[in-house]
Chains A and B, each alone.
Chain A
Amino acid sequence: MKTRTRFALGIFFGAICGAVLAALVLKLPPVRQVVGDYAFDFEIALGRSIGGHLFTVLTILGALAGAAAGGTGGASDRLADSDVPNEPQNNGENLVFLHGYNVNPQQARGVESEMFKRFYWSGSMAKFYGVTWNGAVTQGYIPGIPNVTTDLQTNEVNALLTASSLAAFLGNLSGETTVAAHSLGNMVVLSAISDYGATPSHYFMIDSAVAMEAIDGTVSPAANMINSQWTDYTNRLWASEWHDLFPTNDARSKLTWNNRLGNLASVDIYNFYSSGEEVLREQPNPTPSLIGVAWDDIFDGTPVASYLWALQEKEKGLMGGNEVLSSDHGGWKFNDQWYGIAGEHMAAGTAALLPDSQLQTNAFFDVSSDFVGAELFTADTALYGSDGSAYAAANRDRILSDAIPALTLPAGANVLTILDQPNNPHNFDMTSSSLQNGWPEARFTGGEHNNNWYHSDFDYVAYPFTCKLFEQIVTLGNLK
């Protein structure tokens, strides 16, 4: 009986969320339109036989992505129509979806399946492609916590290494192509567009875990993105500004997030962000010292993974290693070995007098780690040498990821005005009545006591609550 009910509800919401449910919703209470719980989901086959493949899959792992971005365990590619005999009739267009960070190949299959269903229920008749990429390196690194990926930086590099394969794949598709990506998956897509000339017709960023300045170099730094130990020091001394000390023909001048992914050509890009984000939330200064403040004081007292994106930027250089949260070199680490005085950082006023020529070969931030043995990291001192430019060119994305802090907030929690066109908004706040169809009751009974759209709610919260997001994308992308 329960299964039958679920099936019936699935058909009901899946088929008519757009047309009829909206009318019904207007007759329900304004905020708590509880038509299910967010643990509730639909296990239905939409009238097609179970057992065959429902959508196409591109797995960019292993050799396809290059050894550095490789991984194992993904589903085999299913790219031909004959590989997906159960795919419903399609309109000849393509919808390509990329998952985010902390999603292993097995989990990717789950997310892709869910997205396929949600877009289909929302009226998409495009061929659906789920793209699996290697964004979960260090998942399970901490014993006893199997589903947490602790090292964002390595997976950022993987995202950038994956982009060329994605661009090649998109270039070979026939018909109009729409791309949607979640979280760090957006770094793959943005790089495919900016670095490799991919030109999808429409691109939808969802909860994009990419600094705004990487997309729009004119976005102003956010005060709360500056590590509070450095606010008294002139920004000429910061790792984020070190690139400015070099001429444009020196690759060290490219060691900045500013405009790193800003070559967007004429691609029609939409930003579905959430002002209620927890993972991409602005972390009010002071910046916590992870030595002075306990890990669980930060993370156990907030929604799971709150502030994580901001903290990994603000803690660059300050960690005890490179596998958890952030890095132990570059970033906001003072170069006290050279500039410290009696165990103290050089005073801000004195540091401001350091000449550019000296900072070029010995930065005020420390490019090395302090640790000994195998964990001692000194490779980036090559930036100071005669081959510094070549070293920067060869290691640009890795250095950006683990040693150069972004100073702007992430696009997935903020308006990216460069995308808007006159009379044609391209930024949509998902924490809003126009994209939330009510919200799970549990969110109103504890914790923040509100309807914040959290980082993975596009997937975790049941379709009846989130259907407007998918319908909006289907409409804007002309996917029907």
Chain B
Amino acid sequence: MKNLICLFFISITIAARAQASLIEHEWKVTLIVVDDTGQPVASAKTGVGYYSKSQPASIDGLTDTNGVFIALHRAYSGILGFAVEKAGYYTTRQGYDLGFVYDEAKWNPTQTIILKRKIKPIPMYAKHIEGGPPAFDVPVGYDLVVGDWVAPNRKGLTTDIIFTGELNQKAKNNFDYKLTVSFPKQDDGIQEFDVPSYYLHSHGSELLSSQEAPTNNYQPQIIRTMSRHPGFGTKEDMNDPNHNYYFRVRTKVDDSGNIVAAHYGKIYGDFMQFSYYFNPTSNDRNVEFDPKQNLMTNMKPDEGVSAP
């Protein structure tokens, strides 16, 4: 009887397939590839990936002088993947969901792909961090160059960022926690930029940030909270994978309040699971990291950073 049911089920699907196959639809993707200034990128290596009988396949080619690449196929594919790469640019990848039901507009999309330019990748201090400061309820500094906390039995020497974790905990799953990220100097600061992480979503440019950190709009602190109480679950605005940041530290100003020296950097990820990048050159807002030139040494395997 099991076999009968199985045959019944298979026969339904085969019948449905046969019916669906009477009208075999084509999907057609038009990709317009531009750089981060909006200029078309010609001769970019472009791939439109699809699945046929669950096997990955790809239609590959180069964009034309207008930055356009067109791919079409009759192979049914519920999911497409786009990849565009060219020397001198950061690769961009993007997924596209065709869905299971034919939709003329959805199956004939035009997508704009932005290739960010590689302008000047530089050596930086880059490190991945998991976990918060070594003590609660007291401000603890972090040295971005040394890559450690400024605390007893730790190696940090200069406080670049101050983390203050205030914990009111009654039980393991009954607590309120507030993390304040602040800075030792008045003109230091941080500002958020929200981009879905390349690694988290496999979408977008492999360079999450801009090539340069902004000149202004840095905030003196940000606060993240997390609470958990019996029956109410966890509420938190921490660890958001879309959150990323630029920062300015070691800032010096003249008598008029003009910045005469500062170090810039960026953070991929949210507190307290993130990777930071620190530019060692004063007054250089470049945050384009060359992963082959990490200035940080003696890291554990899980502290390494490979994203630019």
A residues at B contact (CB < 8 Å):
17-19, 21-22, 25-31, 33, 141-143, 216-219, 266, 275-276, 284, 286, 288, 290-304, 306, 319-321, 323-324, 373-375, 415, 417-418, 420-425, 427-429, 431-436, 438, 442, 444-452, 467-468, 471-472, 475
Contact = CB atoms under 8 A, between A and B. Distances in A.
Given A300-B51, A302-B79, A432 B200 contact: yes
- 7 A-B pairs with the lowest CB-CB distances in the bound complex, closest first: A218-B233, A423-B132, A447-B56, A450-B202, A446-B56, A294-B17, A449-B81
Given A425-B130, A447-B56, A293 B20 contact: yes
Contact of B239 (A219, A306, A427, A432): A427
Nearest to A452: B202
B13 A25 contact: no
B202 A320 contact: no
Contacts of A442: 56
B95 interface: yes
B129 to A, nearest CB: 10
B1 A373 contact: yes
B10 A423 contact: no
B78 A306 contact: yes
Interface stretch (B63-71, B151-159, B166-174): B166-174
Contacts of A444: 83
Chain B interface residue bracket vs A: 35 or more
B301 A293 contact: no
B190 to A, nearest CB: 19
Contact of A293 (B16, B136, B167, B300): B16
Interface in B175-208: 175, 177, 179, 197, 199-203, 206
A472 B302 contact: yes
27 contacts: A26-B304, A29-B291, A30-B291, A30-B307, A142-B6, A219-B233, A275-B241, A290-B12, A291-B16, A294-B13, A296-B17, A297-B17, A297-B20, A300-B51, A301-B77, A304-B54, A319-B9, A320-B8, A321-B6, A417-B234, A418-B233, A422-B177, A423-B165, A432-B197, A447-B57, A450-B93, A452-B202
Given A415-B239, A451-B202, 15 more contacts: A30-B306, A217-B233, A218-B231, A286-B101, A298-B78, A301-B50, A301-B76, A301-B77, A303-B79, A321-B9, A422-B136, A434-B130, A442-B56, A445-B58, A448-B49
Interface of B: 1-3, 5-6, 8-10, 12-14, 16-17, 19-20, 47, 49-54, 56-58, 75-79, 81-83, 91, 93, 95, 97-101, 128, 130-133, 136, 165, 167, 169, 172-173, 175, 177, 179, 197, 199-203, 206, 226, 228, 231-234, 236, 239, 241, 272-273, 275, 291-292, 294, 299-302, 304-308
A25 B306 contact: yes
A442 B55 CA distance: 12
A277 B3 CA distance: 32
A301 B79 contact: yes
Given A25-B304, A447-B57, A424 B6 contact: no
B57 A446 contact: yes
A450 B199 CA distance: 9
Contacts of A143: 3, 6
A434 B226 contact: no
A294 B16 contact: yes
A433 B306 contact: yes
Contacts of A468: 301-302
Nearest to A444: B83
Contact of A447 (B51, B101, B231, B302): B51
Nearest to B3: A143
Nearest to A445: B58
Contact of A446 (B1, B49, B206): B49
Contact of A425 (B1, B47, B131): B131
A299 B3 CA distance: 21
Given A25-B306, A294-B13, A295-B13, A447 B81 contact: yes
A371 to B, nearest CB: 8
A320 B304 contact: no
A18 B234 contact: no
Contact of A420 (B8, B9, B236, B307): B236
Contacts of B16: 290-295
Contacts of A448: 49, 56, 79, 81, 95, 202
Nearest to A446: B56
A374 B1 contact: yes
A303, A306, A422 — which one has the most chain B CB atoms within 10 A of its CB?
A422
Contact of B272 (A296, A323, A423): A423
A302 B51 contact: yes
Nearest to A469: B302
Nearest to B235: A417
B138 to A, nearest CB: 13
A420 to B, nearest CB: 7
Contacts of B131: 423-425
B292 A26 contact: yes
B83 A475 contact: no
Contacts of A424: 131-132
A26 B306 contact: yes
A448 B58 CA distance: 9
B306 A22 contact: no
Contacts of B132: 422-424
B100 A288 contact: yes
A217 B98 CA distance: 33
Nearest to B1: A374
